[in-house]
Structure 1
Amino acid sequence: MTTKPPGYKTRDRQWHPPGLTPAYKTSVTRSPTRALISMPTSAGEEAGPVFGHDILGPMDNDLILNWAAPGEMAMGPRILVRGRVTDDNGRGVGNTLIEVWQANAGGRYRHANEGYRAPLDPNFGGYGRVMTDAEGYYEFRTVQPGPYPWPNGMMDWRPSHIHFSLFGHSFAQRLITQMYFEGDPLIWMCPIVGGIDDAEAIKSLVAALDMAETLPMDARVYRFDIVLRGRRQTFFENRWEGL
């Protein structure tokens, strides 16, 4: 006998901002124009695939070296990003696959359609991935990305940020968010961030500088914890069904 999978929790629209945010110009064409519907998920979407540590390469969590030529490394301020993925009861969520991608220290992405004139770093690819341990903790090494201009408004710049993609036990359980850096004045000027009308939600996206854990003569440490559900959940860009 088979049973139907229970499905995913509905998005909390009281917490997440509307899809239409006119100051963020591309949201005007991207936002829905008709009433939303919820499509049922299949057993395959909910039950698999199962992720494991065997899919990770030895350098996947080191963006300073994972694209670099032998004997070389990425240029820029070296940082460690550490944190924990938890549920709404504070319990660690283990074996969560986290993928990250970002601009280089000059604010440029390694992308064919990149329009910013800052130089590429030949030893920096800008992406990596890591699995949380049994208690939900993760860590990766990278360089702090630079801010960059974007064609939203004449004076608009994106603050320094790192994109996060979290997977549960299937591809249907994917959540996407962005991590910003404590003390960056551009955070509060960004039209994308401005689409979030809850200051606490914005604060949940800002990584705290942890000088007590800084590696002497090597790297600063930023702490970025991610809460999947509940009143203190991290803001996710695409949380329609969610983990």
Structure 2
Amino acid sequence: MDTAVHDAAGDFRPRDWAQHPPYLSPDYKSTVLRSPSKPLIPMKQCLSVRTGPVFGHDSLAPLDSDLTKNGRVNGEPVGERIVVTGRVLDENGRPVPHTLLEIWQANACGRYVHRWDQHDAPLDPNFFGAGRCITDAEGRYRFTTIKPGAYPWGNHHNAWRPAHIHFSLFGPSFLTRLVTQMYFPGDPLLPLDPIYNGVPEGARELLISRFSIDVTEPLWALGYEFDIVLRGRQATPMEG
């Protein structure tokens, strides 16, 4: 199924593939098996897309956006504390308020809390690795977390994924979901990563966060900014 995004006026527009990674990227080996073999069929907008089901905003817990606390059992999580913040915007720079953002990531050693992750690195008993929040009236979000580590992933010989955080955004219903990844500036693994390089040249840089001394909290955590643009020439590349 072809994917689309929703705007404030209620219109659904198809994905601009010149800005986003293709479903088939041979260097990213799993796409060879899972990519569609026939042309996509655009799904026309219908009432069910507009009306739900939708995530209940009142279901958020106070610690959902603080990954240094929401998985804590008996101490602080291991690793470098960071603050990640930014805005969700449309192609005209207007904020997109009341959008549910979810993130998930590896811990500081590069391991996920998932039964399929068998990387020979320790799990952190005080780090769950997932969080969520709602954008405010200005489209802004904010997470406190631990900087994730790189990890091997078996795509090719000596393949390592750069440090990254996965982002999921929900529009007016579960059917309007977009997923992307945020990377960190200066990571030496970026030029070697088939997933990052599967994004068209000129757009992949939009996936790299910006270090911000203004967001950095003295004696406590470094700060990074990562704006997410839903459409237009500066749209954040989204996963297929």
**Letter in structure 1 aligned against 2:12:** Y
In angstroms, what is the RMSD of aligned CA positions? Answer: 1.6
**Letter in structure 2 aligned against 1:142:** T
Give 1:55-204 correspondences, 5 Å limit: 55-69=59-73, 72-199=75-202, 201-204=203-206
Q: CA deviation at 1:39?
A: 3.0
* Residue of structure 1 equivalent to 2:12: 8
Q: 5+ unaligned residues in a row in structure 1: which ranges?
A: 239-243
**Letter in structure 2 aligned against 1:234:** T
Q: CA deviation at 1:50?
A: 4.2
* Residue of structure 2 equivalent to 1:18: 22
Q: What secondary structure, in the 3-state scheme, does the structure 2 residue paired with 1:46 have?
A: helix
Q: What secondary structure, in the 3-state scheme, does the structure 2 residue paired with 1:141 have?
A: strand
Q: In the alignment, is the contact (CA less than 8 A) between 1:7 and 1:46 conserved in 2?
A: no
Bigger mean CA deviation after superposition, 157-166 or 30-39 = 30-39
* Residue of structure 1 equivalent to 2:229: 227
Q: What secondary structure, in the 3-state scheme, does the structure 2 residue paired with 1:230 have?
A: coil
Q: In the alignment, is the contact (CA less than 8 A) between 1:47 and 1:170 conserved in 2?
A: yes
Distance 2:145 2:31 in 1: 30
Q: In the alignment, is the contact (CA less than 8 A) between 2:90 and 2:231 conserved in 1?
A: yes
Q: What secondary structure, in the 3-state scheme, does the structure 2 residue paired with 1:28 have?
A: helix
Distance 1:215 1:115 in 2: 34
Distance 1:52 1:221 in 2: 29
Q: CA deviation at 1:44?
A: 2.0
**Letter in structure 1 aligned against 2:221:** A
Distance 1:215 1:7 in 2: 40
Bigger mean CA deviation after superposition, 46-55 or 86-95 = 46-55
**Letter in structure 2 aligned against 1:9:** R
**Letter in structure 2 aligned against 1:15:** Q
Q: What secondary structure, in the 3-state scheme, does the structure 1 residue paired with 2:83 have?
A: strand
Q: CA deviation at 1:52?
A: 4.7
Distance 1:235 1:213 in 2: 24
Distance 1:40 1:227 in 2: 23
Q: CA deviation at 1:211?
A: 2.0
Q: In the alignment, is the contact (CA less than 8 A) between 1:101 and 1:162 conserved in 2?
A: yes
* Residue of structure 2 equivalent to 1:236: 238
Q: CA deviation at 1:27?
A: 0.6
State the Cα deviation string for residues 94-115 of structure 1 (Å, max 9, x = none).
0000000000000000000112
Distance 1:55 1:187 in 2: 36
Q: What secondary structure, in the 3-state scheme, does the structure 1 residue paired with 2:28 have?
A: coil
Distance 1:153 1:133 in 2: 42
* Residue of structure 2 equivalent to 1:211: 213
* Residue of structure 1 equivalent to 2:48: 44
Q: CA deviation at 1:45?
A: 2.5
Name the count of aligned residue pairs.
Answer: 232
Query: Which segments of structure 1 move beyond 4 Å, counting only runs of 4 or more?
Result: none
* Residue of structure 2 equivalent to 1:241: none
**Letter in structure 2 aligned against 1:141:** T
State the Cα deviation string for residues 206-231 of structure 1 (Å, max 9, x = none).
00111233111100000000111111
Q: TM-score of the superposition, structure 2-length normalised? A: 0.92
**Letter in structure 2 aligned against 1:75:** V
Q: TM-score of the superposition, structure 1-length normalised? A: 0.91
**Letter in structure 2 aligned against 1:217:** L
Q: In the alignment, is the contact (CA less than 8 A) between 2:212 and 2:223 conserved in 1?
A: yes
Distance 1:24 1:213 in 2: 34
Bigger mean CA deviation after superposition, 131-140 or 203-212 = 203-212
Q: CA deviation at 1:14?
A: 2.0
